[in-house]
Amino acid sequence: MVVYTVRKPGGTKDREFAVYAALLEESGIDLSWVPRTEEPGTGNRWLYVWKNRASADMFRRELVSRTRDSSWELYQFDMPVEDVGPLAPLDIIALPTGDGTAFRLAPASQERIMRRFPNARLVGESFWGTRTREDHEAKQGPIWKQVATLLAGLSEQQLQDLGGYRIVEADTGTVLNESRAQN
């Protein structure tokens, strides 16, 4: 079957992919379960697959406009078997404060969770004081899984079913931790 994707030569950077994923979601595409293909050259990222060339090209043109980067290309290829699954991890925003860190799910991630798991018990925000975090990590290791499962109200497996998660520092965009879904 002939399909199309939109990609950048050499692969996308995190910020570029964030715009890509946000535009897909704005277009009404649920990133938790889509036709996809691995992004060449990255080994850890998926790209959306269109069956219609015109739709893919319209998406490419909008992406070029939003990113002001004309290197986005429409790529046509044969896909013998459709691969369907999550496209991107959930985003958790880390907001450093004077005495710790507040964590919250990005709004688009909250929407993905509620579409797939309508009975999930989302928590608006979780705060970890510096001392509490240090004590916890000394006894049980990093807090990342606990933060993700608490905020999403989901099990680790359910988080993986949605594409995993990544924790991003709000001010710098630095990815503090990432747990991507297994293929």
Distance (Å, whole) CA 2 – CA 161: 27
pLDDT reported for residue 43: 65
pLDDT reported for residue 104: 95
Domains of the chain: 2-85 (3.30.70), 90-180 (no CATH)
Ranges of residues in the chain whose predicted pLDDT is under 70: 43, 181-183
Q: Which amino acid is at 164?
A: G
pLDDT digit string, tens, across residues 136-177: 888 888 999 999 999 999 999 999 988 899 999 998 888 888
